[in-house]
Amino acid sequence: MTRPRDDGRGVDVGLVELAGGVRSPAAEDGDGVDLTALVAPELVLVVADAGLGTINSVRLIVDALASRPGADAPTVVHLNRFDAGVEVHRRNRDWLVDRCGYRVTTDLDALADALA
């Protein structure tokens, strides 16, 4: 939800969640990618599960969002429920950072810093 600033200059911080994913319909004539293009965010946050299938899912999401017009907003990937004691979680994080070059967070403090 967004709230207008008191000085009439717009919104300080707004959040738009794409329920169902970036390719799920958001309206009769558009999906989450279309909605993202209309909103023109300054930052995109992708929240993904840390387990199996994460690399594929995150890459598909980031690629779909990169296909939209004006897709120059930085992207932060947050691995939800990340457990450093789980090897697949660590490997997924490392792959997304080292091979894909994504900025990845795994805890709320790091996420807050990335969003600041």
Distance CA 78, CA 92 (A): 12
For 77-90, what is each residue's pLDDT tens digit?
Answer: 999 999 999 999 99
* 73 touches 44 (CB < 8 A): yes
Q: What is the rounded average pLDDT for all residues in the chain?
A: 89
SS3 category, 38: helix
- How many Cα atoms occupy the beta-carbon half-sphere of 95 within 13 Å? 17
Count the Cβ atoms, other than its own, within 10 Å of residue 45: 16
Q: Report the share of the chain in percent with pLDDT over 70.
A: 90
pLDDT at 39: 87
Distance CA 77, CA 101 (A): 11
Which has the higher per-residue pLDDT, 14 or 22? Answer: 22
Model's pTM, two decimal places? Answer: 0.85
pLDDT(71) > 60: yes
Distance CA 85, CA 49 (A): 15
